[in-house]
Chains A and B, each alone.
Chain A
Amino acid sequence: MDFIAILSIFVLACFVGYFVVWSVTPALHTPLMSVTNAISSVIVVGALIAAAAAGSAYSKWLGLVAVALASVNIFGGFAVTQRMLAMYKKKERKDA
C-alpha cells in the first residue's frame, strides 16, 4: 500500500469514527472508553510481528513485552466492558 492509500483509509476512518461516536448514548460513555481502550490494543499486531521476527534479540524481547502489555488491555478491556454492559437493565424487574 502506498502512503496516499493509507492516508485515505485514515481520513475516512476518522469521519466514520466521528459519526459513530456521536451516536453513542451518553449513558454508555464509560463502556465506550473501556472498549476503545480494548480495541486500540490492536497494536498487538505490531508487537506480534516484532516478537516473531528473527534478526534482533532486543527487538524480539521488546515485542514480547509489548504483547504481554497489550494482552492485559485486550482481555481486561473487553471483559470489564462486558461486565459493565451486563448491568444495564430495563424497568420490568420482579419487584424486590
Chain B
Amino acid sequence: MHEAAPQSSWVLLAYLIAGVCFIMALRGLSSPESSRRGNRAGIIGMAIAVGTTLTTHEIATLWEIAIAILIGGGVGLVIARRIQMTAMPQLVAAFHSLVGMAAVLVGAAAYLNPGAFGILGPDGIHQVSRVEMGLGVAIGAITFSGSVIAFLKLNGNMSGKPIILPLRHVINLGTLVAILGLIAYFTQDQAPWVFWTVTALSFAIGFLVIVPIGGADMPVVISMLNSYSGWAAAAMGFTLHNSAMIITGALVGSSGAILSYIMCKAMNRSFISVIAGGFGGDAVAGGGAAAIDRPYKRGSAEDAAFLMSQADQVIIVPGYGMAVAQAQHALREMADLLKKVGVKVKYAIHPVAGRMPGHMNVLLAEANVPYDEVFELEDVNNEFAQTDVAFVIGANDVTNPAAKTDKSSPIYGMPVLDVEKARTVLFVKRSMGGVGYAGVDNELFYRDNTMMLLADAKKMVEEINKALG
C-alpha cells in the first residue's frame, strides 16, 4: 500500500528502536542519578529516527534540509543556554507551540502532496488517512494557538487575569462541533476549503479556550498543552504510518495528561472547571482589605535568626514569590549557616509551588540545594508537628489553613502544607496588604504562633544571614 514510501522491515525496526529509546528517556527520570543517562537515550533515539528517514527517502534537497536543521538547531541551543530557570514555563509553552505548528505544517504538506507519504489511493487520499490528517492538523493548531496564549500570559505580555468573553461556552462548543463535523465531511469530499476551514477553526478554538483561563490555573494549562502536543504527534504518526511517532505521541500524550491530573488534584480543581475558565479574578479579593486591621505579630531579622538558630529542625516552605525575588541563593546560604550550628533543615514543596509541575525543585537545584533535602507535600506534612520553625517564603495559598476548615473559601479542599502545626511560623511577606494568587486572605498571619517578617524576600534572608553569621 506504500508506493512512494516503502518501509522495509529494518526501517520499521529502526523506528521501533527509536521508540524504545524514548521510553528509556522517560524511565530514566525516576531518579536524578539515572536521568542524565535517560536524556542521552532520548538524543540517540532522535538521531536514529532522523537518520533512518534521511537514508531511506530520496532526498532531492539535502542542502536545504541541512540549512533548516542548522538554523533551527542553532536557535534552540542558544535559547536553551540563555534561558533563566524562572522562565522555564514560558519556554516550555513556546516549545509546545512549535510542535503544534510543525504538526499543522506536516499535515498541510501531506494534504498537498499525499503521494510522497504513500497515502494516495485511486480515489484521492485514503479515507482513514483523511480522518487522521484532519485530527492531527486540528490538534496541532489548537496546541499552537493555545500555547501562544499561555506563553503570553506566563511571560507577562498579557494579563494573567481571565478574560471573559460573552457566550463563550456556546461559541466554543459550536466551534468544536463544526470542526468534528467538517472532519467527518472531509472523508467524503477532500476539497481544499474543508481542509483549510478545519485548520482555521482549530487555530481559533485554541485561542478561545485558553484566553479565559486565569494565571492561577496555568500549571494545568501548560500540562494539558504538553499532552496535546503528544496527541498531535501521534495523529501525524497514524497518517504517516510511522511507529516512532505513534509511540512517542502516546508517551507524551499520557505524560501531559498525568501531569494535568496531578496539578488539578494539587489545587482541588476539576479539569472541566479549569477549562471553563474564569478562576483567579477579583471576585473574592474583597476579603483581603477588611482583614488588614486584624492584629498580628511582627518580627525582625534578628528575631528570626535567633529562633531558627535555637531550633532542632527548620522546614523551609518556598513559593513562587521566593523565585521572583531571586532569593533562592540567599536562602541556601541561610540553610548552610543553620546547618553549621547543628540545625536540621528541610525544604517542603507543594506541587503547585512554582508555575509548572516540578518548577520549584529546579529553582532550588539551581541554587545548589541538594535534592535529598527537598521533600514533597505528602512526605513531609506530618513532620511539621515535630518541627520548631516553619519558614514560609514567597508562598501563601499553599499554607492557608482555611483550605482545611473554611467551607466557604475558594480554596477549600485544596491539599495544603500544615505549617501552623510547627511551634513557630515565620512568614516572609512584602506587606500585609495583598493576597495570594487565588485572591484569598490567609488566617495564618493572625495566629499566635506566627511571626510576620515584612520585607522583600531576598533582603530579609540576607539580613537573617548577617544576624546568623
Contacts and interface: CB of A to CB of B under 8 A. Distances in A.
Indicate whether A and B interact. Answer: yes
Interface of A: 1, 3, 6, 9-11, 13-14, 16-18, 20-56, 58-60, 62-91, 93, 95-96
Contacts of A82: 36, 39
Point out which of B22, B38, B68, B248 has the most chain A C-beta atoms below 10 A from its C-beta: B68
18 contacts: A3-B128, A24-B30, A30-B356, A33-B256, A35-B25, A39-B252, A40-B249, A41-B46, A49-B240, A52-B58, A53-B57, A63-B106, A64-B64, A66-B105, A67-B65, A69-B102, A76-B75, A77-B76
B422 interface: no
A50 B46 contact: no
Point out which of B81, B102, B115, B370 has the most chain A C-beta atoms below 10 A from its C-beta: B102
B303 interface: no
A86 B36 contact: yes
Nearest to B20: A16
A65 B105 contact: yes
Nearest to A44: B50
B353 to A, nearest CB: 11
Report whether over half of chain A's contact residues are helix, strand or loop; otherwise say mixed. Answer: helix
A36 to B, nearest CB: 4
B357 to A, nearest CB: 4
A29 B57 CA distance: 37
A86 B217 CA distance: 29
A48 B254 contact: no
Contacts of A45: 49-50, 53, 240, 242, 244-245
Interface of B: 4-5, 7, 12, 18-19, 22-23, 25-27, 29-32, 35-36, 38-39, 42-43, 45-46, 49-50, 53-54, 57-61, 64-65, 68-69, 71-77, 79-81, 83, 85, 88, 91-92, 95-96, 98-99, 101-103, 105-106, 108-110, 112-113, 115-117, 128, 222-223, 226, 229-230, 232-234, 236-256, 258-259, 262, 333, 336, 349, 351, 354, 356-359, 361-362, 365-366, 368, 370-374, 376
Contact of B358 (A31, A65, A91): A31
A32 B255 CA distance: 8
Given A22-B258, A56-B113, A80 B370 contact: no
Given A37-B229, A40-B232, A46-B106, 5 more contacts: A17-B250, A28-B361, A33-B92, A36-B26, A54-B58
B211 to A, nearest CB: 22
Contacts of A41: 46, 98-99, 102
A24 B258 CA distance: 11
Contacts of B57: 48-49, 52-53
B226 A95 contact: no
B371 A48 contact: no
Given A76-B77, A78-B42, A43 B99 contact: yes
Top-3 shortest CB links A-B = A71-B72, A76-B76, A29-B358
B245 A46 contact: yes
Contacts of B262: 26, 29
Given A23-B30, A48-B57, A49-B117, A39 B251 contact: yes
Contacts of A10: 234, 237-238, 246, 249-250
Given A17-B250, A91-B372, A69 B98 contact: yes
B88 A34 contact: yes
Nearest to B62: A52
A82 B253 CA distance: 22
B374 A89 contact: no
Given A37-B229, A85-B36, A42 B245 contact: yes
Contacts of B354: 30
A36 B226 contact: yes
Contacts of B245: 42-43, 45-46
A31 B35 contact: yes
Contact of A33 (B30, B36, B223, B372): B223
B49 A52 contact: no
B65 A43 contact: no
Contacts of A38: 42, 46
Nearest to A55: B113
A27 B361 contact: yes
